[in-house]
Amino acid sequence: MAKPTDLVQGTLDLLILRTLALQPMHGWGIAQRIRQVSKDVLQVNQGALYPALHRLEQQGWIRAKWGESENNRRAKYYSLTPDGAKYLRQEQAQWKRLSSAIGLVLDMS
């Protein structure tokens, strides 16, 4: 397995928002989901996850609510706000533009 790559802060935000677009989740769940979906390539730096979540909450893209987890413990669930959904769409489009441009440069002969 290749060494898991470190994620830059902006990219981490994007991944978190995209994950939350599907359903509300707590921090642990988000980390698990990202690892699962990326087939273990992306392993979120746990020390960076929670500051990122708190920052996104401060900025108003996501909001938090306390609830009960699958194993009956109290957990803090995050979900996307309408503004957050719009922000996610913008950032996704931006990312696609960026990555295809990089691809073009890398593929040039």
Partner 1 sequence: MRWYYKLPLRLRSLFRKDKAELDLSEELQFHLQNQIDELVAEGMNPQEARREALKSLGGVEQVKEECREMRRTNLIENFFQDLRFGLRMLRRTPGFSILAILCLTLGIGANAAVFSWVEGILVRPYPLVFDQERLIALAGTVRGERDQTSWPDLLDVRRSCTLCETLFVSNITGATLNIGDHAQIITGGMVSANYFDAIGVHPFLGRGFEPGEDSGRNAHPVVVLSYHLWQSRFKGDPEIIGKTQRFDNVVHTIVGVAPAGFYGTFVGRAIEYWVPISMLEVFYSGSNRLEDRGARWAEAYVRRKPGVTRSQAQQEISAIATRLEAEYPATNRGRGIKVWALWETPFNHAGELLPILQIMVIVVVFVLLIVCANVGNLLLVRSFARRHEMTVRLAIGADRGRLLRQLVTEGLLLSVCGAVGGMLLAYWCRQALPLLFPVRGGEVMYLPGEIDARVLGLSAAICLVATLAVGLVPAFQMRHLAIADSLKTEATSVMGARGRAWFRSSLVVLQVTLSFMLLVGATLLIQSLRNIRTTSPGFSTTRVLDTWIPLAAAGYDAPRARTFQEELIQRVRALPGVEAAAYARVVPLGYEGYSSTPIAVDGYEPQPNEQPAADYNEVSSNYFATMGIPLISGREFTRADDENAPRVAIVNQTMVARYWRGQNPVGQRLQVKGNWVQVVGVAKDSKYYSMDETPRAFFYVPLRQYFAIEPDIHIRTTQPLQTIETALIREVRAIDPNLALYEMITLQEQLDRSTSQQLVAVTLVALFGGLALLLASIGLYGVMSCSVSQSTRELGLRMALGAGTSNVLRLVLSRGLLLTTTGIVIGIALALPLTRLLGNLLYQVSPRDSLAFATAFAVMSVASVAACFLPAWRATRIDPMRALRAE
Give whichever of 37 and 64 is closer to partner 1, judged by the CB atom: 64
Residue 3 sits in the site that holds partner 1 (CB under 8 A): no
In whole angstroms, how close is the CB of 56 to partner 1 at the nearest point? 9
Residue 11 sits in the site that holds partner 1 (CB under 8 A): no
Residue 35 sits in the site that holds partner 1 (CB under 8 A): no
User: Exposed, middle or buried, 109 (CB in 10 Å: 0-12/13-18/19+)?
Assistant: exposed
User: Exposed, middle or buried, 92 (CB in 10 Å: 0-12/13-18/19+)?
Assistant: middle
Q: Which of 5, 46, 94, 99 binds partner 1 (CB under 8 A)?
A: 46
Residue 76 sits in the site that holds partner 1 (CB under 8 A): yes
User: Exposed, middle or buried, 58 (CB in 10 Å: 0-12/13-18/19+)?
Assistant: exposed
